[in-house]
Structure 1
Amino acid sequence: MLQVFTITGPVFIVIAIGFAAVRWGFFAKSDTRILGKFTINIALPAMLFKALTERPFAEILNTRYLLAYALGSLATFAIGVAATRFFRHRSLQLSAVHGMGMSLSNSAFIGYPIVLQLLGPPAAIALALCFLVENLLILPLALALAESGGGNGESALKVVSNTLLRLGRNPLILAIAAGFACAMLELRLPGPALRAIDMLALASAGIALFVIGGTLVGLKIEGMRGDIAYIVGGKLLLHPLAVFVAVMLVPPTDRTLQIAAVTFACMPMLSIYPILAQKYGREELCAAALMAATVSAFLTISAVIWVLQAGMG
């Protein structure tokens, strides 16, 4: 178990440093948004592009991984929505918000640094494939369902199309598309360009974790403990279990990618979860759930990695 903490410990130490830096005034909370923009728009796209162009196209486009991760995430979303709607008797809109929190992982800011330490370079390939499932399938579906249940007069089809149009301008999606294209055509950039991309890629993990810590400052959980526990339980327990079952049913040929899929599903929800829920008046609940999940994830991720490593042995 000590070996597991050597993987997860540094990640959460950097998160704690980010929290302390903002809490003690070394950085303003608004500063973390600037760092977050740099990470999500520059550093992470550079890392993804670099990883995708370093491997053969047949190796990076792993359809069985995509199918397994998609099935597990869809199952989690469907269970979360159905349980909220029919057993907890909440609105369809709130049910969609709950399902979103349970099925969308913080793959980039927390997942990648952990999986990188656990598995090495294949972590970037797995991250790119997770991004495709999360951004092209689960997120548009969740937003469309939330809109259709809110009576805002906007059709689900329009929500999906607008979401996909915005994603078409997302630097992460553009980096994945460019990386796939270069890998398929076997194109290689000149040495200076590759070194510049490598320098930016190296900055992604540490800054991302620091930003997560800073965003947790000031979040409160009072008065919403039942809903918070429900969302956090779905994210940290149900989602990894559903992806594990899907991986057993449709196993990726590479054992490393099987482990990556389950590990990415263990991560807390994506850091923009409260922002996505703001339109529906649920930002406080989602911010509190994000904080609780991020803190609790240290134990759950460590436990899952210990089980996976025991299985590998």
Structure 2
Amino acid sequence: MLEILAITTPIFLLIGTGYLAMATRLVNREQIQGVATFVLYFALPALVIRALTQNPLDEVLQTQYLLAYGLGSVAIFSLGLLLTLAIQHKPLSEGAMHALGMSASNSGFIGYPVAAMVIGSSPAAIFMALNMMIENLLVIPAALILAEAGRQSGAGIATVARKTFLRLVRNPVLVGITLGLLLAVTETPLPRPLAQVVDMLASAAGPAALFVIGGTLFGLRVRGMFKDVGQIVVGKLIFHPLAVLGVFLLMPQADPGMVAGALLFACAPMVSIYPLLGHRYGMAGISAAALMVATLAAFATLSLGLWLMAASGLLPTSQV
């Protein structure tokens, strides 16, 4: 267990550093947002490009991983909708946001740094790229389309879908995935100076992302929202990994390393933009509180998940 804490503790110490920097006013909200912009627009796309160009294409596009992680995420998304619409009788827009919080991981800012320490930066970057394809092309668009439809703002589903698509094509991580795949398919190597720049940016992604998460958490509060927040957090940190694992168990000869990588990402809290999306649909308080609670609780659930994976043989003991 001490070996596991040696992995998870540095992750959350970096998050705590960002929180402390905000609490002591070494940085302000605008400066944290500036670091977040650097990570989102430069470091993460570079990380994806490096992962896609340093490995053979058949090792990158792992259909079994896409299928298992995608189906597991869709299952939890559907569960979130069922709980909020059929059982709690909440509006569709609120149900879509609950479902999003339960099924979309923070793959870039938390999932990757944790996975990189456990299974290595190269496979972790590949899994991150695959996860972001699922999250940015499937889960997040579905949640936004349903939430917009629930608002009954007069715009049809086709209009909402078109606007969502236009936002997605400008997503810097998806641009990085597209460029990386083009370079991989055409087997075009990056010029050495450019490759060094990509490598330097990619190396900055993990620590900078964790610092941003800590700064973002400062000032968030949980007030009278324990039932909704608890449902979202339990769904994300417990049921999402279990759903992904369940799909893998139904597949023949699933690679243990692939299963471990998928579970590490599924164990991560929800996407960092969750409060921003929730604010648009009247869930600013709940979504921000859920992000804070899930991020803090992830220290325990990630440590437990690592211990269970090591005990079941998914991770060699040398990795934990």
TM-score (norm 1): 0.97
Change (3 A) 1:232 1:251: farther
- For the 8 Å contact 1:46–1:175, the answer to whether it is kept is yes
Query: Does residue 82 of the first structure (1) align with residue 82 of the second (2)?
Result: yes
CA positional deviation for 1:102 = 0.3
Give a deviation string over 1:192-225, Cα, whole Å, max 9, x none. Answer: 1111111111111101000000001111101111
Query: Does residue 205 of the first structure (1) align with residue 221 of the second (2)?
Result: no
Bigger Cα displacement from structure 2, 180-189 vs 41-50: 180-189
CA positional deviation for 1:255 = 2.5
Give a deviation string over 1:235-268, Cα, whole Å, max 9, x none. Answer: 1111111111011123685321211111111111
CA positional deviation for 1:278 = 1.3
**How is 1:65-76 mapped onto 2 (pairs within 5 angstroms)?**
65-76=65-76
Change (3 A) 1:152 1:259: same
**How is 1:150-229 mapped onto 2 (pairs within 5 angstroms)?**
150-229=151-230
- For the 8 Å contact 2:248–2:254, the answer to whether it is kept is no
**How is 1:297-312 mapped onto 2 (pairs within 5 angstroms)?**
297-312=298-313
For residue 236 of structure 2, what is the aligned residue in structure 1?
235
**How is 1:1-313 mapped onto 2 (pairs within 5 angstroms)?**
1-120=1-120, 121-250=122-251, 253-312=254-313
SS at match of 1:256: helix
- For the 8 Å contact 1:68–1:251, the answer to whether it is kept is no
Bigger Cα displacement from structure 2, 253-262 vs 14-23: 253-262
TM-align CA RMSD: 1.2
Change (3 A) 1:222 1:214: same
Change (3 A) 1:252 1:179: farther
SS at match of 2:135: helix
Counterpart-to-counterpart distance in 1, 2:205 and 2:16 = 17
- Which letter maps to 1:225? F
CA positional deviation for 1:182 = 1.2
Q: State, as a whole percentage, how many aligned pairs show the same letter.
A: 45
SS at match of 1:269: coil
Counterpart-to-counterpart distance in 2, 1:203 and 1:251 = 37
What runs of 5+ residues in structure 1 fail to find an aligned partner? none
Counterpart-to-counterpart distance in 2, 1:260 and 1:29 = 32
TM-score (norm 2): 0.95
Give a deviation string over 1:23-59, Cα, whole Å, max 9, x none. Answer: 1111112211000000000011111101110001111
- For the 8 Å contact 1:144–1:157, the answer to whether it is kept is no
Counterpart-to-counterpart distance in 2, 1:269 and 1:171 = 19
- Which letter maps to 1:116? A
What runs of 5+ residues in structure 2 fail to find an aligned partner? none
Change (3 A) 1:224 1:246: same
CA positional deviation for 1:129 = 0.3
Bigger Cα displacement from structure 2, 245-254 vs 127-136: 245-254
SS at match of 2:312: helix
SS at match of 1:203: helix
- For the 8 Å contact 1:62–1:252, the answer to whether it is kept is no
- For the 8 Å contact 2:136–2:168, the answer to whether it is kept is yes
Counterpart-to-counterpart distance in 2, 1:285 and 1:241 = 24
Counterpart-to-counterpart distance in 1, 2:3 and 2:134 = 31
SS at match of 1:105: coil
- For the 8 Å contact 2:15–2:211, the answer to whether it is kept is yes
